[in-house]
Amino acid sequence: MWDNMPHFKSGFVAIIGRPNVGKSTLLNAILGEKVAIVSQKPQTTRNKIRGIKNAENSQIIFLDTPGIHAAKGYLNEFMIKEALSALEDVDGIIYMVEAPKKIDEEDLLIIENLKKAKGFVILCINKADMAPKDALLPLIDEYSRLFPFKAIIPLSAAKGEGVDELLNLIVELLPEGPQYFPDDMVTDLPERFIAAEIIREKVFELTRHEIPYSTAVVVERFKENPKKRIVSISATINVERDSQKGIVIGKGGGMLKQIGTSARHDIERLLGTKVYLELFVRVVKDWTKDKRLLKEFGYH
């Protein structure tokens, strides 16, 4: 296919940054599709999420990564390794920060790791539309002194402002290469993985306190019935304590029903078909501290 497409550009680009700076929002804005789950709570993304941006003469494969932060516990350690491993063998990196937040130790840690990367690095300053110019310009100057970025682009991931400029620059910097995926694909993630992530997102949105960080969703059954045009999904929401189970289920099962209804609507939009969704809640004591269970729940 590539032989018939002269000057076709392609490559892999990692999106990295601290927790909750808008990495997943940026990926979804780039793709025009919801692939990565989004929440106001930090550390929403746990795995590397791959999104594919197709254009007439280019294909960019983006890796959305967990937020880089001070690691405490096995789950956080896994997330940091996932994020930093994305810097290996990519053609480029988007380092995302948020205006007007000042540079701190976590930023310096990320920049130290950027110095080891082989690909180009673009700094994206998110929420630039909400930052006063007298705060934005000194921030740009400070980052410029710390690292030789190919470019610094202020943008708003939520509004999509600056995204086209970013994409044009990435295509310009990418090498000529093959088309890795069919041009109708937006992600190579299995549908059951995305379904589990959507359910976890709804737990983030609708519950409170520490519940989201103690949640792992496992899809036990994902069965398509083409004749009836319906997909049957059975999933288990795993939490660490009985008190958390009570919150997720809610009074009279109300919270679980709310989570299920909201998740089903999003999954139906994703799959383009009707969905029958069945949810269960299970207590697995201290699973975030157990390496075997982390592996069982897909964090390995």
In a domain, residue 179? The reply is no
Tell me which amino acid residue 262 is.
S
Six-digit token string for 150: 């190919």
Six-digit token string for 290: 């157990």
Tell me the pLDDT tens digit for each residue of 167-181: 999 999 999 999 999
Q: Are residues 155 and 200 in the same domain?
A: no
Q: Are 230 and 274 in contact (CB under 8 A)?
A: yes
Residue 42's pLDDT is 43
- Percentage of the chain exceeding pLDDT 90: 41
Q: Can you give the CATH number for the domain in which 270 is found?
A: 3.30.300.20
Residue 115's pLDDT is 87
Domain that holds residue 44: 2-173
In a domain, residue 101? The reply is yes
Q: CA angle 89-165-131, nearest 5°?
A: 100
Q: What CA–CA distance (Å, rounded) separates 32 from 210?
A: 31
Total domains present in the chain: 2
Mean pLDDT across the stretch 76-91? 66
In a domain, residue 288? The reply is yes
Tell me the pLDDT tens digit for each residue of 36-60: 554 444 444 445 678 899 998 999 9
Q: Are 234 and 260 in contact (CB under 8 A)?
A: no
Six-digit token string for 64: 């959305």
Q: What CA–CA distance (Å, rounded) separates 167 from 220?
A: 38
Six-digit token string for 3: 């032989």
- Nearest alpha-carbon partner for 177 in 267, 59, 89: 59
In sequence order, what DSSP letters do the residues of 118-143 get, joined into one string? -SEEEEEEETGGGS-HHHHHHHHHHH
Q: What CA–CA distance (Å, rounded) separates 273 from 275?
A: 6
Q: Can you give the CATH number for the domain in which 26 is found?
A: 3.40.50.300
Q: Are residues 38 and 84 in the same domain?
A: yes
Tell me the pLDDT tens digit for each residue of 212-271: 667 889 999 999 888 888 999 999 999 998 989 999 999 999 999 999 999 999 999 888
Q: Are 16 and 96 in contact (CB under 8 A)?
A: yes
Domain final position from 173, 205, 225:
173
Give, for 50, the enclosing helix (H) or strand (E): strand 49-55
Q: Are residues 15 and 152 in the same domain?
A: yes
Q: Are 52 and 188 in contact (CB under 8 A)?
A: yes
Q: CA angle 75-80-86, nearest 5°?
A: 130
Which single residue is written with the structure tokens 């202020």?
A: 154
Q: Are residues 7 and 81 in the same domain?
A: yes
